[in-house]
Structures are given as structure tokens and as C-alpha cells.
Amino acid sequence: MAETKSGALTRRGFLKTTAALAGVAAAGAAAPTLTALAAEYGTGQVAGEGEQLVCGVCRGNCFGQCKINVHVRDGKVVKTSRRPFNSWPEGGAWDRICLRGLSHPYTVYGERRIQYPMRRAGERGSGQWERITWDEAIKEITDEWKRIQAEYGDQAVAYTRGSGNLASINGVGSPLFNVLFNKINATQIKIARDQANTRGINRVVGSLGDWVLNSTQDYINSKTVFVWGANITDAQAQDWPHVANAVEAGVKLVVIDPIYTQLASKADLWIPIQPATDAALTLSMMYVMIDEDAINKPFMKDHTVAPFLVRSDTGKFLHMSDLGVAPREVPVEAQATNIDAARSSSVNYGATGASAGAGTKLIDPYAVLDADGVVKAVEDATDPQLEGTYQFGDVECATAYTLLKEEVMQYPPEKASDICKIPAEDIVELAHIALDGPCIHRLGWGSNSYTNGVHAAHAAITMAALTGQIGYSGAGTGACNWNSGSGTNMLLPNMTAAKNPLISALFLPEIMRTGKYMGKDHPIKALYVYSGNPITNQVNTNEYLNDILGNLELLVTADYTYTDTVHYSDIVLPACHWFEAEDIVLLTGAQCYEYNAKAIDPLYESKTDSDILRLLAAGMGYPDLFPLTDEEYCHKILDTPALAARGISFDELKEKEDLYYKSTKPWIPWAGNSFMTPSGRMEFYVEEPELQFDMGQEYDRDREHLPRYFNPTEAYEGSPQWDKYKLILLSERPRFRVHSMFSDNKYLRELDPEPTVKINPADAEARGLADGEYVEVYNDRGHAVAKLVYNDAIRPGCMVYPKSWQMSQHKAGCWSELLTSAYDPVGVNESYFDNLVEVRAWKEA
């Protein structure tokens, strides 16, 4: 923990710690002037005497992936600073480094750095360790894996990761992990987070990746940017300069967030919405649009499924074949070869899949009601009707828009005002602003964190179907433009998929309790964790410790620092820090590749994850599984024909350090309105909901057809827990950490020494709690002790904590103990905010 008792950073403390690491004399050293620091920040590349500047990439999961200078002197990292991008010369708005990035030397040489392989010496979690050699560690792990596989089956060995290193060889974008674990037929446990937005949006427009929206540089071309539940200033550092540029140029900023965040303080309009009610607000905005007859009918007719007839018996669209019309032959569209335009290839207008010969395919057209009252193929109708019903034999059909309208009309502003606890006039005003486009609607992870989050996103993208504001400059609806999924899939063609079906981390407790998955025996007895700290970051810690760890025979963690997950492991492997190996990083927000050169040799006995994999492979009997060196893998990943066409190769990247990979700057998804859905249109009516993971869980198919508002699991007034607990517990992205990373960084702990939780003073006073006292936040699942902070910015009825303090840093309990493991069966997403708690004074025992 930090040396200082209070959060105040003394200049003496600052100089002392800086000097200790930089290895310069502290006594009497004059502090650099702010002007000098600003000049240095501007150029980014001031090498101190005897220093070598190495091109590095800071790459925890804060989405920044900042290019930085690693200052090396005598083989040691002495400092980090900003290093300008080459791909983005205009204005330098991509160049940046934050406090965390500036603090790296304290992580590289941190006191809690794992120095050598360790075996647990006492009870699991006792913190007692013995040092072992690499040979011993690898032999023990692989002997155990072999025993477990022989006893329980191959897939009883599992592996999982978090988001600790966004690189392509040693990080989470690496194909190498799957190479080993496929070879030994292991099970991948997939983290279950950040998916509700994606599920709600992609099911309407198709998938270009996980988090897709216009590049942030395009925001300046919109009239209003709506931010729904994201704190861009703190949590998307890479985007804030572009948002700020837009705001300065006169673009209106509307922030919808229960909390008066830093971003809200920059907004023209802040809407303090009741948590978990975004879908009700959006449906009500659509009510106003429809009520005022202000929807974009031509767009809806041409680019959405609005006029398609839906069969009441099957819930599916009516096709001409239903009416006895044989499928017709049409020319096949050219396959997209462009790496960022694969979307057009999957637009197949209801293709039957059967090929009718070279260059053609059979399609079974969607049926619509034409203006003359006759049902026709959509391609043949002169004016497809948006509204109407049609009796097809015994089967009633209605247009998709008719069904949507029925749903939307249940949310007049007065009613939504009660649900969202905001004035009805504000809802009307929001609808008017949204109509006066072009607008960007950027969805953060606010509504994503409740079990009704898929529908909040589904509603948002449906509103774009009503306004037609999508696919052109300044107009779009989506999650932030991080776009990782498509980035990884399209740009890492050698990426090796896991061989066995991925299992959601949310299913793990049940699998561990029962030994069964989808009705079949599937015990999991060994878990290998890399680049992640699930015990701190996953929901419901007690369930994790009891049900998962309690049934696990071997937990192995590879990390460079001592985390909660390390603490509960049986064997710990010392991984390298990012600066200790060469790697490639995909800067997805800016759509460019970055090069990370090796700055220093691996410290202590640490090894790169790739070398760890090589040793594990040999231990499992496959010494030749990785025939290439890491450098050769870098070439393999980047030296492909598709990238060569863009002038991208590994050698080129090494030379230029960063390379933009999209065909246009800024990038605008869904340009030309060609959506990656079966119909090629925006399918706001969903025929068949796609589950994020399918474990045979039950779900309500009818509910999923359209965007709907319903209560989340716990975080609402009147929920089953309401009698006991009346505060909704939210987290915020910590400025001083990236999740749990940097939590043991001495420099940052001076600024942010211990867990805190914010509360509206009225809620605190009602409970007799004073500002600054230690409190226990609790519910049936667990508790966490933290220092209480009075804060008027917190919506009454809520509490907010900066996330991901390690358990060992709390006086008792930890935040994740309080979090529900309930999930929506479609989104299968951890619901970090769907929790009720109470708070009381805490006295140290």
C-alpha cells in the first residue's frame, strides 16, 4: 500500500520516488518548470543524457493503446513519455500519455512484481509460497494436466484470459494460446463482459465487430452527439480530444447518465436518468417521433424491415414462397476482398443458400403490402406500406413497423417520465434534438451492465432505423468505435480459433457445481489464467471462491504482478512486462497497427507468455508445436496479401511504428446502408434472437423480436431485494488504474491510496454516515469496506465506487463480492450495476 496516509501528494514525496527510480540525485534537484514539461510533452521525445528512446505501446484494456517512449538507460526503464503517431499527423490529437502511462517504471520495478515461479506452500489463499524452478513448475503443471485429462477427459483442462495485454503475440490478440490449448483439446472459458450493446445492435445491423461506430474524428460533422452511459473523459482517453474538438466547434453534447460525470460537466444537456431505464427513454423518444409524424419513411421503406410482413404463427417474415411463388434467380454480388468492406459480401437478400449456377443464386423474396393492397415481393412493390395487416389463410400478418409501433406507443413521455424519473418535457426535447440530425448516439457500458441491457441497445439502433441517421458522416448509432472484433478477425487472418465450443465464464459456477455442461458430463478441474485477474474483476467473488475454486484441482496464473487471482493460485508463473518483448498491437480505436520494440531484457526469471507456451507444449509432449520465433510470427501475422495491398507488412511497421489500415479516414460503418443482415436491411424486428452463448438456457423468444423495456434483475424499486436494500451500486472506471492494473503502483497510490465509495450527502445523512468515515457496503452476497465520500454529483439512491481495487487493498471484503451473477439469457453478460446494497458505519475489529 501507499506510504502516504492521506491522498495528498507532497512535492517531497514526488521527488523522492521519482528520483529513486530514475536513479538521479534527489537532494536539491530543481523541479522542472511547467513550461518545460509542456514543451517536452509537445515534442514527446526528449531523451535524457545517456538515454535511449524505444518505441513502446501502453496496452492494458483502457482502450488507449498509447504509443509511448520507453526511456532506457543502462538497460533499465527510467521513464516513459509521449511518442507522436506517424499515421495521424493532423493536429496530433491521437498523441497522448496519461498518469498511468507515465508511471510504468513503478510497475516494471514494482514491489509486487512476480520474480520467479512459485508453488503454494500453505492452504490456498494463505499467501504462503515456495520458490521453484521453471523446470519444476512446468513439470508439475503438465503432470497434473495429464493426470486430470486421463481421469476426467481432455476438456477438464481449461484456460481463460482477461484483457491485460492487447498485443498480438504475447497478449489477448495472440493465436498462440489457442495453438497449445487446441493441441491438448482443452476448454476455453470466455469472459462474459461488454456484450449487451453488441448483441442488441448487431442483431439489427449485423456484425462488423464488437463495438462499432463512426470514428471519433467524424463527430465534428454531426449536429449533436448523444452519449448514453459512458464517461469518455475518464474511460476513453483516446476519444476525448476528438469529442472536445467537436464540442469546441459547436457540436451539441447530450449526456445521459445517472451521475454528473466529468463528461456530463462538459455537456449542453445532462439527463440524470434512473439506472437501467434507457430502453424506456428511447422508446418514448420514438413515441414522440411517431406521434409527430416525423419519422423518415423513405429510409424505413428502403433500408429497414419496416414494411416486411411478419407471420403471427412463426414470428418470421412472410416470404413469397409462402404464397406459392417459386424462388427466383439473381446474379451473385461480387465477393468483397477489401479488408474493411466484407459487409457487402454477406448481404444476400433472403438467399436460400442454394446456388442456381455460376454467378447467380436463388432468392425467396420478402413479402410486403403494396399501395394497391396486393402482397408482392419487396423488389416488385412500387410503394411498400409501412403499416397494415394481412390475413394469409389462418395466419395473421402485420408489418414489422406495425408491431414496433404497438410497442412504442406504450411509452408516452408522461409514462416514461415516471420510469426514467426525468421530466416528460425533456423526453420531448431529446426527441426533437435527435430528429434534427445528423446525430451520433454513442452507447457506453452504462445500460450494458444490467440484465435488460440488450434491449437498451436494440432500442437505440431501432431509433436510428426511424430517423435514417446512420451510415453517413456525422450520423451513427453504436458503441464506441473500438471495433475490436472486426479488427482482430479481419486483420489477423492467422488467428487460430479455439477448437472446442467456448464456455461463458458466467456458466462456470454451475458447471463446477454439477460437473455437467448442456446435460453432458464436462468436469473442469484445471484452469490456466493469463492476462487477467478474474477474482478481482468477475462478479460474485464468493461464488468464484466457493463454487469455482472449491471444485478446481489446479489453478495456474501467469502474471507479472501479485493479483488476487495470483493469491489464490496453486502455481504462479512470472510473465514479462510489455516492454520486455517485441510485439504488434492493433490500435483499434484509430484503426492502426502499432509496433512495440523490446526495450529491456526480461527482469528476474520472467518469461514471455509465448516462451511459457513453448515450455508447456514441450511438457505436454509437443516440443515442436511452435516452429517459429516470435519475430517470425509477427511476419506471419502481418505479411499477408490483403495487408500487402494496403502497403502493410511487418518490416514496414517496424520502420514506421504505426500504420493506418482502413481505406478511409475517418471510417464510417454502414456507409451506403448495406447492412450485414440476411435481408441487407436494418432488422429492428428480430426473427430469431442469437444467444451470446447457448447452454440450453431458457429465454423468451417473443420478447426478443422487438426492443422492449422491462425491469432489470435487481436494481429497481420494488425488486425482491428492495425490502432490505435501497441503494443501486454503480462502479466507475478508475482514473488511477486500468481495471486492477496499476493497483500496486506506488506513484499512483500516492494520489489514490485506498478504496472509496461516493454517495449523495442526503443518502449518507439519512443513514447517519459522515464524509470520510469507513463504511461497510453490504448485501446478501457479501460486503466491501471503503472510505465514504460525500458527492453531490451522485444521483440519490445510488452509490459509485472506482472499480477493481484488489481484495488485499480493502480493509475487508471487496467490491465484486456484492455483484450479482444473474445474466440475461440472450446477452450472457456480467451485470456489474444490477445490484442493490445498503451501507453502514464500519469499525475496525
Interface ranges with ligand SF4 (CB under 6 A):
58, 60, 62, 64-66, 97-98, 100-101, 237, 738
State which residue, 192 or 237, has the beta carbon closest to ligand SF4. Answer: 237
The residue sitting closest to ligand SF4, measured at its beta carbon, is: 101
Which H helix or E strand runs over 593? strand 592-596
Q: How many CB atoms are closer than 10 A to CB 89?
A: 10
**Cβ distance to ligand SF4 smaller for residue 100 or 795:** 100
CB 804 within 8 A of CB 766: no
Binding site for ligand MGD (CB under 6 A): 60-63, 162-165, 170-171, 193-194, 228-231, 234-235, 256-259, 261, 273, 275-276, 278, 444-447, 530-534, 536-537, 558-561, 563, 575, 578, 609, 730-735, 737-741, 803-804, 815-816, 819, 832-833
Prior bond of 666 cis (ω within 30°) = yes
SS3 at position 190? strand
Q: Evaluate the omega torsion of the peptide bond into residue 438 and state whether it is cis, within 30 degrees of 0.
A: yes
Exposure string of 162-194, with b = 16+ CB inside 10 Å and e = fewer, is: bbbbbbbbbbbbbbbbbbbbbebebbbbbbbbb
- Tell me which stretch binds Mo ion (CB under 5 A): 105-113, 187-195, 347-355, 583-591: 187-195
For ligand SF4, which is the closer residue by CB, 743 or 821? 743
Strand pairing partners for 778? Answer: 783, 838
Q: Which does 820 bind (CB under 5 to 8 A by kind): ligand MGD, Mo ion, ligand SF4, none?
A: none
Q: In whole angstroms, how close is the CB of 102 to ligand SF4 at the nearest point?
A: 7
State the CB neighbour count (10 A cutoff) for residue 720: 9
**Least Å from the CB of residue 364 to ligand MGD:** 40
Q: Out of Mo ion, ligand SF4, ligand MGD, none, which partner does residue 87 contact, by CB within 5 to 8 A per kind?
A: none
Which strands, in side-by-side order, build the sheet including 118-120?
Answer: 129-131, 118-120, 571-574, 554-559, 526-530, 157-161, 187-190, 503-504
CB closer to ligand MGD out of 94 and 530: 530
65 binds, among ligand MGD, ligand SF4, Mo ion, none (CB under 5 to 8 A by kind): ligand SF4
Region near Mo ion per CB under 5 A, out of 194-202, 653-661, 726-734, 779-787:
194-202
Q: Which CA distances in Å does 524 have to 160, 299, 510, 540?
A: 12, 51, 11, 19
Q: Residue count at the site for Mo ion (CB under 5 A)?
A: 1
Residue placing its CB nearer to ligand MGD in the complex, 148 or 558: 558
Q: Which does 58 bind (CB under 5 to 8 A by kind): Mo ion, ligand SF4, ligand MGD, none?
A: ligand SF4
Cβ-based nearer residue to ligand SF4, 100 or 803: 100
- Only one of the segments 77-85, 186-194, 587-595, 627-635 lies at the binding site for Mo ion (rule: CB under 5 A); that segment is 186-194
Stretch that binds Mo ion, among 191-199, 262-270, 303-311, 654-662 (CB under 5 A): 191-199
Q: Among Mo ion, ligand SF4, ligand MGD, none, what binds residue 530 when CB lies within 5 to 8 Å by partner kind?
A: ligand MGD
C-alpha cell at 587: 490500435
Handedness of CA 199, 200, 202, 208 (dihedral sign): negative
One-letter amino acid of 531: S
Report whether 505 contacts 548 (CB < 8 A): no
Pick from Mo ion, ligand MGD, ligand SF4, none: which does 561 bind, CB < 5 to 8 A by kind? ligand MGD
Q: Shortest distance, CB of residue 749 to ligand SF4, whole angstroms?
A: 16
Minimum distance from residue 535 beta carbon to ligand MGD (Å): 9
The percent of the chain in helix, strand and coil, each rounded to the nearest 5, is 30, 20, 50
Q: How far is the CB of 559 from ligand SF4 (least distance, A)?
A: 17
797 binds, among Mo ion, ligand SF4, ligand MGD, none (CB under 5 to 8 A by kind): none
CB of 78 to ligand SF4, least distance (A): 17
Calpha distance 179→497 (Å, rounded): 9
* 234 touching Mo ion, by CB under 5 A: no
Q: How far is the CB of 839 from Mo ion (least distance, A)?
A: 26
Nearer to ligand SF4, 317 or 736 (CB): 736
Tell me the C-alpha distance between 691 and 456, whole Å: 16
Measured from the CB atom, the residue of 481 and 721 that comes closer to Mo ion is 481
680, HSE (Cβ side, Cα atoms, 13 Å): 21
Q: Which is nearer to Mo ion, 187 or 804 (CB)?
A: 804
Q: In one letter, which amino acid is 730?
A: L
Selection from Mo ion, ligand SF4, ligand MGD, none that 531 binds (CB < 5 to 8 A by kind) is ligand MGD
Q: With CA atoms as reference, report the closest residue to 240 among 250, 227, 224.
A: 227
Residue 2 CB, shortest distance to ligand SF4, in Å, is 19
Q: Which helix (H) or strand (E) holds 226?
A: strand 224-228
Partners of 554 in beta bridges = 526
Minimum CB distance to Mo ion smaller for 572 or for 729: 729
Strands 367-369 and 389-392: unpaired
Smallest gap from Cβ 755 to ligand MGD, in A, equals 12
Contacted entry of Mo ion, ligand SF4, ligand MGD, none for residue 455, CB cut-off 5 to 8 Å set by kind? none
User: Could you tell me the smallest distance in angstroms from the CB atom of residue 44 to ligand SF4?
Assistant: 12
The residue (of 318 and 420) whose beta carbon lies closer to ligand MGD is 420
Q: Decide whether 38 or 518 has the Cβ nearer to ligand SF4.
A: 38
Q: Tell me how far, at minimum, the Cβ of 703 lies from ligand MGD, in Å.
A: 19
Residue 230 contacts which entry, ligand MGD, ligand SF4, Mo ion, none (Cβ below 5-8 A, type-dependent): ligand MGD
Alpha carbon distance, N-terminus to C-terminus of the chain? 20
Q: Which residues lie closer than 8 Å to 808 by C-beta, 6 or more apart?
A: 564, 567
- What is the per-residue DSSP string for 474-492? TBEEEE-TT-HHHHHHHH-
Return d(Cα 683, Cα 461) in angstroms, integer.
10
Quick one: 481 exposed, middle or buried, by C-beta within 10 A (0-12, 13-18, 19+)? buried
Q: Are 19 and 25 in contact (CB under 8 A)?
A: yes
Closer to Mo ion by CB, 194 or 234: give it. 194
**CB-nearer residue toward ligand MGD: 320 or 549:** 549
Residue 101 binds which entry of ligand SF4, ligand MGD, Mo ion, none, with Cβ cut-offs from 5 to 8 Å by kind? Answer: ligand SF4
Under DSSP, is residue 269 helix (H, G, I), strand (E, B) or coil? strand
**Pick 53 or 613: Cβ nearer ligand SF4:** 53
Nearest distance from C-beta of residue 795 to ligand MGD, angstroms: 8
Exposure letters 780-807 (e unless 16+ CB within 10 A, then b): ebbbbbbbbbbbeebbebbbbbbbbbbb
Binding residues for Mo ion restricted to 624-683, rule: CB under 5 A: none
Shortest Å distance, C-beta 194 to Mo ion? 4
For ligand SF4, the closer of residues 190 and 739 by Cβ is: 739
By CB under 5 A, is residue 583 in contact with Mo ion? no
Is residue 567 classed exposed, middle or buried when 0-12, 13-18 and 19+ CB atoms within 10 A define those classes?
Answer: buried
Of 164 and 509, which has the nearer Cβ to ligand MGD?
Answer: 164
Least gap, CB of 261 to ligand MGD (angstroms): 5
Residue 194 binds Mo ion, judged by CB under 5 A: yes
Count CB atoms within 10 A of the CB of residue 823: 24
Torsion of CA 653, 657, 660, 661, to 10 degrees: 30
> Which grid cell is 589?
480505436
For Mo ion, the binding residues (CB under 5 A) are 194
